[in-house]
A = this chain, B = another copy of it.
Amino acid sequence: MGESSVEKLIPKVSLTDTFWSQYQDIVKKNMIPYQWQALNDQLPDAEPSHAIENFRIAAGESDGEFYGMIFQDSDVAKWLEAVAFSLETEANPELERLADEVIDLIGRAQRSDGYLNTYYTVKEPEKRWTNLKDNHELYCAGHLIEAAVAYYKATGKETFLHIMSKYADYIDTVFGEEEGKLSGYPGHQEIELALVKLYDVTGNENYLKLSKYFIDERGKQPHYFDIEKNKRQNTESWNEDTYAYHQAHQPVREQSEAVGHAVRAVYMYTAMADLAAKTNDESLKAACKRLWENVTRKQMYVTGGMGSMVAGEAFSFNYDLPNDLSYTETCASIGLVFWANRMLNLEANSDYADIMELALYNGTISGMDLDGKKFFYVNPLEVLPEASEKRPDKRHVKPVRQSWFGCACCPPNLARLIASIGHYIYSQKDNDLFVHLYMGNETAFDIEDVHVAVKQKTDYPWDGKVVINIDPDREHLFSMAFRIPGWAKGTQIKINGERLDQQALTKDGYVYIKRQWKKNDQVELNFPMVAERIYSNPQVRHNVGKVAIKRGPVVYCLEQADNGENLHAIKLPRSAELTAQFEGSLLNGVVVITADAVRIDENQWDQALYQATSVQTVPNPIKAIPYYAWCNREQGEMLVWINEA
């Protein structure tokens, strides 16, 4: 296979980080085995998945009917991708054997022309590509391609990559501008970013071109979704919202505002950023930057959550961020991590890494409990269990995490993200080595012909001290660029014990240290981690008069378990000191924030619903825990945005 023609592949990273190692262990010990059981219908309490069986049927090795969602194949893909990332960090021959068997099965389920989709193969072989809008064929292909690339990079084995290259080659014969090809694009974006990955490992430019084709075709008039609908003689009617749901309301280069299904949107933006970087496409880059600004300045929750409404699991409109109605799907925050990562490839600006870090420590991992056994689709910023139970308009907001879902989208997506967390720490551009995230790990880079071992030590996210050892096998001139987190005020940097005046070296949030790096060099970064109050832009009507608590990258919340019922009656005075303290026995070890808040004295209020006098507040100490760790004790209320006194 060819090397990437554009950028160095990310090197393997061994995690030594306490925080993320816990999560990676959960993925290895719980999630991958559990999901394997799910895929094979071995879970007594869960709806059957049938995903592996679907491949057996498609391969002609089992009788029976296709069963499951039309995108059931993607569950197998996500499992394989998580397995690949896991093998990358730790060998596991038994697991690898299992994966090889599944890959062989997938190969046998592939049609001779390369086509590979169990639903259509089993159920409607004559209807391939007749409903791109709803039927997720290209979406499943994308996930399988991503898995194949990951498996190749983890194991060096090429079987899966060949299978998926063959499928991609076939897809390339189906779609395109040429006479006789379909001028379509997927209803659920995903293959676009996968084809870029396939290009990266194969060097085959057709994949890059096909990805770009899907991106550029989107939103053109007449709408392809209408064209294929008419071909199907379907009379379903839809309106402009339907196109917006799929981000197909305009050509993507003209889009300036994030609309529609949040996961589809960020997967697409990820591919757009990839393509812009790899093809130096300025207008695509401009669109990416406009959309990034729109999302992160107008449509993102403070946790890195996106999608403020359940209808369409979608963006609503600028500054509309209700805390009790949000959808904020785990997968959307995961997609935001992908997108931020690609924006960093496009240009080194710490804004992207700040948001990536925000989503990683908050809106993504809030999607699972600390045991990795229960999951949220929806990550609300405010929960009242009675409202979730009694109000249909809040029924999507679950007050407790659920076991594996029938539509198993978020849990395996979390598994693959966590298993590959090491990929997001560094990037290398020419001779510049970027450090975007801080977490304990060991890795190495080749800078020209010099091998540079890099080792990070830190108690992040609880402590802002980071020690990085840079160990070239011989002295060499190159730049290392360290991100200064946006939340850090008064950062101090030392090189081999000597204070560095980083002011002049800082550009777009990165401190560039260009020097003759030599053996045993050590950089110490001190990012003061202070619990601080966060306010919303006054245009966010839901958060006026409210304050959130954040310390370093971690957003905090109040839970009923610590603070009693009716969390809204609590008011945090602006003058109250926020005190941070590590509690090793709580929630696998977290820094909690306490403060002398007050509470509206409900006891002073008689039975009236309304009265002309308000009541006094009484002292009420509060204890806030990291948002990601909520809902790991008894069920109860939760609140991120606290009323301010």
Contacts and interface: CB of A to CB of B under 8 A. Distances in A.
A534 interface: yes
B533 A612 contact: yes
Interface residues of A, number: 57
A318 to B, nearest CB: 9
Contacts of A310: 393
A613 B535 contact: yes
A610 B545 contact: no
Contacts of A222: none
A504 interface: no
A544 B532 contact: no
B608 A393 contact: no
A28 to B, nearest CB: 35
A538 interface: yes
A456 interface: no
A609 B538 contact: no
A436 B300 CA distance: 52
Interface stretch (A192-200, A338-346, A384-392): A384-392
Given A387-B320, A534-B612, A600-B538, A311 B392 contact: yes
A566 interface: yes
A483 B541 CA distance: 40
A280 interface: no
A607 B538 contact: no
A605 B296 CA distance: 15
A284 interface: no
B610 A386 contact: no
A57 interface: no
A121 interface: no
Interface in A602-628: 602, 605, 607-615
Interface in A526-554: 532-541, 544-545, 547-548, 550
A523 to B, nearest CB: 26
A407 interface: no
Counting chain B CB atoms within 10 Å of each CB, the highest count among A300, A310, A608 belongs to A608
A325 B610 contact: no
A110 interface: no
Nearest to A542: B568
Given A386-B317, A386-B320, A566 B537 contact: no
B612 A297 contact: no
A89 to B, nearest CB: 33
Contacts of A386: 317, 320
B609 A309 contact: no
A74 to B, nearest CB: 27
Nearest to A312: B392
Interface string A290-323: 0001001110101000000111000011001010
A609 B298 contact: yes
Interface string A501-544: 00000000000000000000000000000001111111111001
A386 B257 CA distance: 15
